[in-house]
Amino acid sequence: MRTACTSVPPLLLATALALAACGKSAGGGGPELAAATAAIERRTAAIRDYALAGTATDLGTGKALAFTYAFAQPTYTKATVGTEHVTTFDGTAVVIVDHANKVAQRQEVKGQKEDELLLSLNALFADFTVEGWRPPLLRPRGMTARTERGADGERWLISVPIDDDTLAEQRVTLRAPGGEFVEKAFLDKSGKVVAGVKVLEELKDAGTGLSFPKVWERTGPQGRFKVVLDGATVNAGLAKEQFTIAVPDGYRIGT
């Protein structure tokens, strides 16, 4: 699991994949895509905020890190790893604080386009949450969708072409008719899956009636990582002030 301000694998892959997936703009769609998009929108509208606590384990090394993650509409976000690392977006800037090394970074987002901001935030916080908690970043142009039968009933398989030298497409699988996230895969030109995320277990929120990922596994060039949630609360009323972080005196400030 990567953490900001430390010598860990970068977030460039996730950002590049997301940007490439949104790069195509050919026509397409159909009733399956319209139904899947409508389901995603219903889920998104039902979620005002949520807070998660869990453990992320590198399945290659066995190293496990405890984390917390919080989100509030529209884009307030905060993640902590142990007691030493905090990353937050307070609506105007991304702030990363490394208490172990007494270093802080702040990056303003003024002037950044909305779609670019969402891509950046999704990549930055990719270790702590997954589609199902957040909506997949899909574009209606250039995508196709079909219905297939899975072990748990009908599913929508959404295919997004990727404008890239080595990658061919992104595939997102949602359960019909509710739009619950099942898995996501990135395929290269030969049809081989080179990165992906798969939900292994779900939890049911009584307040919204929605199912959310509880356990998921992420695979890619950086290895295999398993995330297990120990706790989750939905629509508890998180205030935007909870996403503001003060940098302690004496910390070195970067940008």
| Domain chopping of the chain, boundaries | 12-254
Say how far residue 239 (Cα) sits from the centre of its chain: 21
Name the pLDDT band for 23 (thresholds 50, 70, 90): very low
- Residue-averaged pLDDT of the chain: 87
Q: Quickly tell me which residue has 């990719």 as its tokens.
A: 126
Q: Where do we find the tokens 């997102």? A: 172
**Overall average pLDDT of the 80-103 stretch:** 94
Nearest to 40 by CA among 161, 163, 175: 175
- Kindly list the distances between the CA atom of residue 104 and the CA atoms of 60, 122, 197, in Å, as whole numbers in the listed order: 30, 21, 30
d(CA 104, CA 254): 6
Torsion of CA 84, 15, 33, 176, to 10 degrees: -30
Map residue 109 onto helix, strand or coil: coil
Of 181, 228, 184, nearest to 53 (Cα)?
Answer: 228
pLDDT interval class at 110 (50, 70, 90): confident
Q: Which fold has domain 12-254?
A: outer membrane lipoprotein receptor (LolB), chain A (2.50.20)
pLDDT at site 94: 94
Is residue 16 scored above 90 in pLDDT?
no
Q: What is the pLDDT of residue 141?
A: 67
Q: Name, in order, each residue with C-beta under 8 angstroms of 151's C-beta and a sequence gap of 6 or more.
A: none
Burial of 54 (0-12, 13-18, 19+ CB in 10 A): buried
Helix, strand, coil content of the chain in percent (nearest 5): 15, 45, 40
The DSSP H or E segment spanning 120 is helix 114-124
Q: Say if CB 199 and CB 181 are below 8 A apart.
A: yes
Rg of the chain over CA atoms, in angstroms? 18
- Strand ranges (E), the chain: 49-58, 64-72, 76-81, 85-89, 93-98, 103-108, 144-150, 153-161, 167-175, 180-188, 193-204, 211-220, 223-234, 252-254
Residue 138's pLDDT band, with cuts at 50, 70 and 90, is confident
| pTM of the model as a whole | 0.85
In this prediction, residue 41 carries a pLDDT of 95
